[in-house]
Amino acid sequence: MSNSDLLTSLQNNFIGRDTEYPTVDGRRGPRIYLDSAASTLMMGPAYNVGHEFLVHYASTHSDLHYAARGASHAFEWAHQRVLEFVGANPENYCTFFAGSGATAGFNRMAASLSRARPERSVVLVSEMEHHSNDLPHRHHSGQVIHIPCAGEFERYGGLDMDKLRAICDEHGENINYIAVTGASNVSGAITPLAEVAELMHAVGAYLLVDASQMIAHAPVSMDDADIDVLVFSGHKIYAPGSPGAVIAKKSLLNAIKPAELGGGMVDDVYIAEYMPTATLPDREEAGTPNIVGAITLGAVLDLLTRVGMDMVREKEIDLIDFAWKELSAIEDVTLYGPDPADIPRTGTLTFNIKGFDHGLTAAAINDYHNIQVRNGCFCAHPYVRELLKRELWEMDIDPDAPNAEGDIERKRGMARASLGLYTTRADLEALVAAIRDLAGRREEILSLYEPIGSNGYRHKNFTPAAVDIFDPERSLEQFLAQPA
């Protein structure tokens, strides 16, 4: 199969892509899923690999019985697929799985790197970061310096390289590492990683990359960019239920102590002492791993390697350009983040519709148009508030007021449409049409919704219950109704 045919076949094989839901007008139809930055849908053929493995399920770390031998081989295969996918030569790099996403990896690396080099007490973090790649560093390191972005107000985004250079000059060898996103989960702005690596390495600091929003959208080569550590979540790349992955230079891992202790990572244990193994990745993978999740993730990465991430990126750029142009043309829409013509972006589009709170936009797009987008601050509060600053000032709202009341939180956010491999131009045309429709009947929509919680909205006459959408008990009942 050619790689372009494989891509088409994969695009048509996502579980739940066409799940049908009701809309306010009484119709029922397939959803349009534009919430991939939060979590992607499951790639069908990769799910099947994980499912088939269950026939042979056993734990790893033995090859004496058949199933354990198969499991150990498949788990090791998943590690190799990760290294290959991120362009990390196994001679120099090692990967380990951690927790249920990237958050576990950041906490682990922040703790280990701070402990390993206490004399370097400064950590740099960009202002675009997701809280997962900010708070662990604040917690573990002496001082976090936040690196500003380029541009201002709605166009704020992309690392300000001049300011980064100045901070490197000032803090030099006090810098332990920089933690920066490969692509923002708010604006999709892509970071020039090779350039950042060069700056960091000149002062002996490490580069730790959050690839959560890059991994499914753009090619990455750790070898070429000379990245020291890269972290991502498997659920952001079509393998929900899979673990987070950390890929790091072996030289770096050999210099740190394992952050987690338990079974599988020691050579021997006595009452008086224990000896952690020198073998990687075992030393970093204490406990029984998420074997099924890792194998499913390995299968996704294998298939996408066959397609080639250059092709995935090329297709996504066409969609981003189309959506940016169409949404920019709507008078009542504000788009956030750098213009893709100025700074390359991944397929994440944040916006507000004039006169609509972000929660109302997300609810009405769902209820009337069956399009699923997210809203709020996306766990990147400082960045979102910076992007909204001008509009909030105009509404007499302090962007940074702590513990704001509900009415203010309802204004302090945006809606986010984010793309996946399964997103088509027709999906984006539907989004554009939906936004035009809502903007054109603002008063009617406003009268039909009431605010709920800190930033949500609920339709006054149309609210399908959660249990009508999916109920685990109903699924179990099908099994329980069968004869034994």
Ligand X SMILES: Cc1ncc(COP(=O)(O)O)c(C=O)c1O
Q: Which residues pair with 149 in a beta bridge?
A: 159
Instruction: Check residue 99 and report its DSSP letter.
Output: T
350 binds ligand X (CB under 6 A): no
Placement of tokens 């950042």 in the chain: 196
**Window 16-45: residues binding ligand X (CB under 6 A):** 37-38
Q: Alpha-carbon distance 332 to 243, whole Å?
A: 41
Taking CB atoms, the residue at the shortest distance from ligand X is 101
* Min dist. Cβ of residue 138 to ligand X (A): 15
133 binds ligand X (CB under 6 A): yes
103 binds ligand X (CB under 6 A): yes
Q: Alpha-carbon distance 151 to 161, whole Å?
A: 12
* Min dist. Cβ of residue 210 to ligand X (A): 5
Question: Closest by alpha carbon to 157, among 386, 333, 460?
Answer: 386
Q: Alpha-carbon distance 211 to 87, whole Å?
A: 13
Tokens of 179: 């933690």
- Residue number, 362 or 445, with CB nearest to ligand X: 362
String of contacts with ligand X for each residue 204-243, x by CB under 6 A: ------x-xx-------------------x-x--------
* Min dist. Cβ of residue 280 to ligand X (A): 22
* Min dist. Cβ of residue 70 to ligand X (A): 28
Pick the binder of ligand X from 181, 191, 370, 455 (CB under 6 A).
181
* Min dist. Cβ of residue 398 to ligand X (A): 26
**Any residues with CB less than 8 A from the CB of 282 and at least 6 apart, and which?**
61, 264, 265
Tokens of 272: 């008086």
- Residue number, 112 or 213, with CB nearest to ligand X: 213
* Min dist. Cβ of residue 213 to ligand X (A): 4
- Residue number, 133 or 370, with CB nearest to ligand X: 133
For 375, other C-beta atoms within 10 Å of its C-beta total 23
- Residue number, 191 or 212, with CB nearest to ligand X: 212
- With contacts defined by CB under 6 A, name the span among 27-35, 41-49, 127-135, 391-399 that binds ligand X: 127-135
141 binds ligand X (CB under 6 A): no
Pick the binder of ligand X from 50, 87, 101, 289 (CB under 6 A).
101
Give the Å distances, CA to CA, from 102 to 96, 172, 217.
12, 28, 16
- Residue number, 103 or 176, with CB nearest to ligand X: 103
Q: Alpha-carbon distance 145 to 46, whole Å?
A: 40
Give the Å distances, CA to CA, from 346 to 36, 136, 185, 321, 449.
12, 25, 9, 10, 33
Instruction: Concatenate the DSSP letters of all residues of 287-308 into one string.
Output: SS--HHHHHHHHHHHHHHHHH-
- With contacts defined by CB under 6 A, name the span among 95-103, 258-266, 325-333, 334-342 that binds ligand X: 95-103
Work out the widest C-alpha separation in the chain, in whole angstroms.
Answer: 74
Query: Which residues are at the interface with ligand X (CB under 6 A)?
Result: 37-38, 101-103, 130, 132-133, 181, 185, 210, 212-213, 233, 235
